[in-house]
Structure 1
Amino acid sequence: MLTGAFSIWKRDMLVLRRSLFSELAAVVAAPLTFYLAFGFGLRGYIADVEGVPYTVFMAPGLITMTAVSAAFDESAWSMWFHRKVQRTIEAYRVTPITVYDIVIGKIFSGFTQGALKGVAVAAVIFLLTGVRFDPTHLVAYLSFIILGSMVFSCAGTVCGTLLDKPETIGKVQAVVIMPLIFLSGVFFPVSSYPEALRATVMLIPTTALFEGSRRALLAGALDAGLIAILAITALAAFVATVAIFNRKMAE
C-alpha cells in the first residue's frame, strides 16, 4: 500500500539532495527580507499586536508561508517538468503506479520540502532575533502545516498538470497564491478587518491556515473550527486533484 507514492517521494528527495544547500539558501532570502523590512523597519511605529511584539507576531506567519509556498512550488514545477520535459505521464500509463500514488507522493514531497525550508527560515529568525516558541506547541502547529501543505501541494499539482507554459504558473503564483497569503494575516491581525467582513475572511482556507498556525505556535491553541475548515478544504483539494490528473492520464 502506497508503495508507488513512496517511490515518487524518494525520487523527489534524491533530486532535492543534489541542490539542498542552494535551495535552502535561496528560500531563506525572501521571508528574511520581509522580516527585516517589516519587523525592524516598522518596529518603532507598530506597538504590540495581540499582546506580543510585532516581530514575534510575524514569525509564525513567515515560517508557515515558507512551508506552504515550498509545497506549491515543488508540486507545480516538478509536475510541469515531468509532464512537458521528461514526459513522465506517458511512462506512468504503462506502470502499476496509480493516480492516487502520484498525488499522494506529491503531497509527501511537498510537505517534506516545505518542512525543511520552514525549519531553515525558523532557524535564521531565531538566530537573528532570539524569538523562541514553546516546543510543546509544535504538535498543534504541525496539524495546520500538514493540512496546509496538502492544500498547496494539490493546487500545485493541478497547475503543473493543466498549465503548459511555465510563465502561466508564475502568473498564478503572483495573481492568486501570493495575494491569498498576504491577505490572510501574515503581516497583520485578522481583527483589523472591518467587523462586517471579518466572519467571511475567517472562512477562507488560507486565513484558517495562517491564523490557526499562529495561535497554535504562540499559545498552543488548537482551534477546532479553523482545523475543520482546513481539513475540509484539503479533502476537497485531494478529490479534485485526483479527478483532474486522472482525466489528464486518460487523454
Structure 2
Amino acid sequence: MKLQGALAIWRRDMLVLRRSVLSEMVAVVAYPLTIYLAFGIGMKSYIGLVEGVPYSLFIAPGLITMTAVNAAYSESVWSLWFHRRVQFTIESYRVTPVSVSEIVVAKIFSGFTHGLVKALTVALVIFAITPFRFAPEHLLGYLAFLIPGSAFFSCAGVICGTIMDKPETIGKVEAVFIMPLIFMSGLFFPLSSYPEKVIPWIRALPTTALFEGARQALVKGSFSAMFVLQIAGMALITFVAAVWIFRLKMSD
C-alpha cells in the first residue's frame, strides 16, 4: 500500500490542528485535570494506597493514556463526519487516486499525532502539580501500547464517523460505549476490585489490555506481550472493518 495519499491527508489535518492548537490544548487539559482534582486529590485521603502507591499517582498514567486515545477517537469520528456531512470531502475522494486504505491510515496517523500532542500537554500539567515521575527508558514500552491503542480508537472513530449522520448519535455512542469501556478497564481502580468471576471478562476487553499494560510499562517498566498482542489484534480487526465500511459508504 502506498502512503503518499495518507501523508497528504495527514499534513492537511496537521495544518488544521496548528490553526487551533491553543484552544485545543486548553479544552483537552480541562477534562482530565478536573477528574484528577476530583478523584486524585479529593479522594486520596479516603482511598489511601493502591498497589503500593498513593491513589493520585495510581490514576495519573491512566489519565494520560485516556487523553491520547480519546483524542484519537474524537479526531477520527468528527473529522470523518464533518468531511462527509458538511464539506462533502468524501465525494472528492471518488475522483482521486487515494485509496480507501490510505484514507483510514491517514486518520490513524492524525489520531495518534493529536493524541500524542494532547497527552504530552496533560502529562506536563500532571508533572507540575504532582510528584508523579517515570524512568525515561520506560517510554518505549509505553509506546508499544499507545500506538496500537490509538489505532484501535482511531479506527473505531472512522467507523462511527462513516455510518452515523447525526452528531447527537456520535455523542451517545461515546457516552454509552467508549467511556464505559475506558472506565471499566481499571483507570480509577485496580482490576482486583472486581469479583473473581468478572475479572476474566474485564481482562478480555481491549481497553483493559491498553490501560493496564500501559500503566505497568510506564510506572514499573514491565512489559506484557499478551496485552500488546491483544490490543494490536483488536486494532487490526477494527482497521479491516473501517476500510470495508468506508469503502461501502464511498460506493453508495
TM-score by length of 1: 0.99
**Deviations 1:80-135 (Å, cap 9, x if unpaired)?**
00011111111000000000110000000000000000000000000011311111
**1:115 aligns to 2:112 (yes or no):** no
**Deviations 1:205-245 (Å, cap 9, x if unpaired)?**
01111111100111111101111110110110101100000
- What is the rounded CA distance, in whole Å, between the counterparts of 2:114 and 2:7 in structure 1? 14
- What is the rounded CA distance, in whole Å, between the counterparts of 1:86 and 1:200 in structure 2? 41
- What is the rounded CA distance, in whole Å, between the counterparts of 1:175 and 1:145 in structure 2? 23
Runs of 4+ in 1 over 2 A off after TM superposition: none
Q: Which residue of the partner structure matches residue 167 of structure 2? A: 166
- What is the rounded CA distance, in whole Å, between the counterparts of 2:149 and 2:78 in structure 1? 18
Cα drift, residue 142 of structure 1: 0.7
**1:195 aligns to 2:187 (yes or no):** no
Q: Give the AA of the match of 2:10.
A: W
Q: Which residue of the partner structure matches residue 42 of structure 1? A: 43
Percent identical residues: 62
**1:227 aligns to 2:219 (yes or no):** no
**Deviations 1:178-228 (Å, cap 9, x if unpaired)?**
111111111001111111111121011011111111001111111011111
2:9 is paired with a residue of what secondary structure? helix
Q: Which residue of the partner structure matches residue 76 of structure 2? A: 75
**Deviations 1:125-167 (Å, cap 9, x if unpaired)?**
0001131111110000011110110000000011110000011
Unaligned runs of 5+ in 1: none
- What is the rounded CA distance, in whole Å, between the counterparts of 2:58 and 2:131 in structure 1? 13
Q: Which residue of the partner structure matches residue 237 of structure 1? A: 238
Q: Give the AA of the match of 2:143.
A: L
1:195 is paired with a residue of what secondary structure? coil
- What is the rounded CA distance, in whole Å, between the counterparts of 1:51 and 1:221 in structure 2? 16
Q: Which residue of the partner structure matches residue 29 of structure 1? A: 30
Q: Which residue of the partner structure matches residue 92 of structure 1? A: 93
- What is the rounded CA distance, in whole Å, between the counterparts of 1:111 and 1:190 in structure 2? 27
Q: Give the AA of the match of 2:168.
A: E
- What is the rounded CA distance, in whole Å, between the counterparts of 1:200 and 1:170 in structure 2? 26
- What is the rounded CA distance, in whole Å, between the counterparts of 1:18 and 1:228 in structure 2? 37
Q: CA RMSD in A?
A: 0.7
Unaligned runs of 5+ in 2: none
Q: Give the AA of the match of 2:248.
A: R
1:131 is paired with a residue of what secondary structure? coil
Cα drift, residue 76 of structure 1: 0.3
- What is the rounded CA distance, in whole Å, between the counterparts of 1:246 and 1:191 in structure 2? 42
Q: Give the AA of the match of 2:45.
A: G
- What is the rounded CA distance, in whole Å, between the counterparts of 2:242 and 2:170 in structure 1? 16
Q: Which residue of the partner structure matches residue 158 of structure 2? A: 157
1:44 is paired with a residue of what secondary structure? helix
- What is the rounded CA distance, in whole Å, between the counterparts of 1:30 and 1:134 in structure 2? 26
- What is the rounded CA distance, in whole Å, between the counterparts of 1:110 and 1:138 in structure 2? 19
Q: Give the AA of the match of 2:233.
A: I
**1:142 aligns to 2:146 (yes or no):** no
Q: Which residue of the partner structure matches residue 209 of structure 2? A: 208
Q: Give the AA of the match of 2:209.
A: A
- What is the rounded CA distance, in whole Å, between the counterparts of 2:38 and 2:85 in structure 1? 38
